[in-house]
Copies of this chain bind each other. A is one copy, B any other.
Amino acid sequence: MTYIAMLGYGTVGSGVAELILKNRNKFKKNIKDELILSKVLVRNLEKHNESNNPSIFTKDVKDIFKENVDIVVEAMGGIDPAYEYVKKALELKKHVVTANKDLIAEHGEELLNIANKNGVILKFEASVGGGIPILKSINECLVGNKIKSIKAILNGTTNFILSKMSKENMSYNDALKLAQDMGFAESNPESDVMGYDAARKLSILSTIAFKKKINWKNIKINGITNIDPMDFQYAQSVGFEIKLLAIAELQKNSIYASVSPVMVRKNSTLGKIENEYNAILVDGDAVGDVVFIGKGAGKFPTASAVFSDIMDIVQSKKENRILFDTKEASINTIWRKENKWLLRINTKDRIAAMSGLVELFPYCNIVAKSKYGLENEVAAFVKSENEAILDKNIRMLRERIDCNNVKKIMILEDE
């Protein structure tokens, strides 16, 4: 018998409970063990009076830490009090499974060390990519590879908003409102639309992939709040989509790490990921490109990943612990390879801007004014040896001409 206690009974928690119940007998035979959900911490006991098994619900967290509990599933979300509870569970030598990316991105290293010291396991497959089996794939299946890069769509809310803006010409505000009305976005959408959520997931993913610590606060983060319908028009004029991409790539002994709106070919694997789907493209030196696509959030996709973590623990694979490396990676937020970008220069002096562009960029494809025709704007696709040179050239351009703003969007041609 394996006794499981759960913190929280919201969307994820109730999904996990359902999967445990559903699979309880299925595994009796195979693993000669039985999964029992013995306690669930909730805020409001009355809400669960009508449930099939009201006695498992408790308001007292002490019940979760009782001696006979083997595994604690943390399904509360947020840092406080999840952090304290998980820490305590580990110190009491209970295995812990969580889907909480905020918690792992913020305190993963410390919590994994506590787990290790206490001879128990902390697992968090659902924290990145929801139901997509990505952490285990990188950690176990691609173990013979040196990971060269990760390019991923890790946030369903922003992907939904960008899809609506692109396909239905919605404004950012209208698309956000629709996402909120449909329950895809929270009333306070900051963590999603500012890119923080994707950055936390990228930090977990890349810390495991590159075996170096990638603090999410060191990642370059640009959200989607700045993207407007014109950006989509420009992108579409060359057959591209705009996606909020999380990128981590080994570049000259350091790791480029960013979350930002990027153009990808409309017909590419990443360009075709719509709405709430996530996609993760991993490039390993032996295996080449491997792509994982699936639902990045939601009750059962998340519960599916949590449940596989539970089964891993039940099968006592304690040997294959994921450990976060404590060695800080050298992170760079400047793209160090030749690439193309879209520049949108807000200026009254279009002629000067155009001649400046042509002088500064050997490859410069200026979008005809007549095409979209913003009065005070020059748009151009430019190529640059790397992002530092690009930024330097933009600075030089701004010195030469009278301009209010220069907006740049990176373009990925090969994904």
Contact = CB atoms under 8 A, between A and B. Distances in A.
A131 B286 contact: yes
A187 interface: no
A137 B135 CA distance: 11
A286 B303 contact: yes
Interface stretch (A3-11, A60-68, A316-324, A331-339): A316-324
Contacts of A301: 286-288
B144 A311 contact: yes
Interface string A1-32: 00000000000000100010011000000010
Interface of A is mostly: mixed
Given A23-B144, A272-B269, A307-B144, A300 B287 contact: yes
How many copies of this chain does the complex contain?
2
Contacts of A312: 140
Contacts of A133: 133, 137, 140-142, 290
Interface in A262-277: 267, 269, 272
A325 B137 CA distance: 25
A19 B289 contact: no
Contacts of A305: 141, 287
Interface string A223-236: 00000000000000
29 contacts: A15-B286, A19-B144, A23-B144, A31-B319, A131-B286, A131-B287, A133-B133, A133-B141, A133-B142, A136-B141, A137-B137, A142-B308, A143-B308, A143-B311, A144-B303, A144-B311, A269-B269, A272-B272, A287-B295, A287-B305, A288-B300, A289-B293, A290-B292, A290-B294, A291-B291, A292-B293, A315-B317, A316-B319, A317-B319
